[in-house]
Copies of this chain bind each other. A is one copy, B any other.
Amino acid sequence: LIESGRALFAEHGLRVTTHDIAAHADVAAGTFYNHFKDKADLFRVITDEAVAELSRRLREAGDPERGLRANVRPVAEALVGFAEDHADFIHILFSREATTATTEAAVLDLLAQDVRQGRAASIERGEMPPEIDAMVLSQALVGMWARVMEWWAEDPSRAPRETVIETLTRIQLGGTHPG
């Protein structure tokens, strides 16, 4: 129930007061602390849930059997699907609040796993030029995904679902300035 106060975190970040969350859930201020040790505690619970859900979707989307490039579109579709179903989570996951250090790392690792895993194979097959650094690449990918998802989740009427997927896919396969 109180977890529905996730809406508040999504909108205002960690700045929401415990009183507001409690009020929003129609319980007294003290009740909050019967369920969560801390404001940070609730935040962590919500965050963990979000990470788990996103993780699940990504796992389902990627198929190691397929080549790296073949996975690009399914992953993009998974991300857009996630943004559609859990707009709240998007804001929470990619916000940069003080305590998120751990989460941030978790999310990044999650998103970048596909990249890192694929890299070994790619280098072997000479698919990925060594000039592309794995660390920089994963930062770039996560930044790209996070921003687009946030932007789109904020107001999905900004672009058709398909356009977002298509653009993300093409960027990854051919670059932002394809030649």
A interface residues, Cβ below 8 angstroms from B: 12-13, 15, 68-69, 72, 95-96, 98, 115, 118, 127-129, 131-133, 135-137, 139-148, 151-152, 158-159, 163-164, 166-168, 170-179
Contacts and interface: CB of A to CB of B under 8 A. Distances in A.
Given A137-B171, A167-B136, A15 B98 contact: yes
Contact of A176 (B12, B137, B152, B164): B137
Instruction: Give the number of times this chain occurs in the complex, counting copies.
Output: 4
A142 to B, nearest CB: 6
A51 to B, nearest CB: 18
Contacts of A139: 147-148, 151-152
B15 A167 contact: no
Contacts of A72: 177
B171 A174 contact: no
Contacts of A148: 136, 139-140, 143
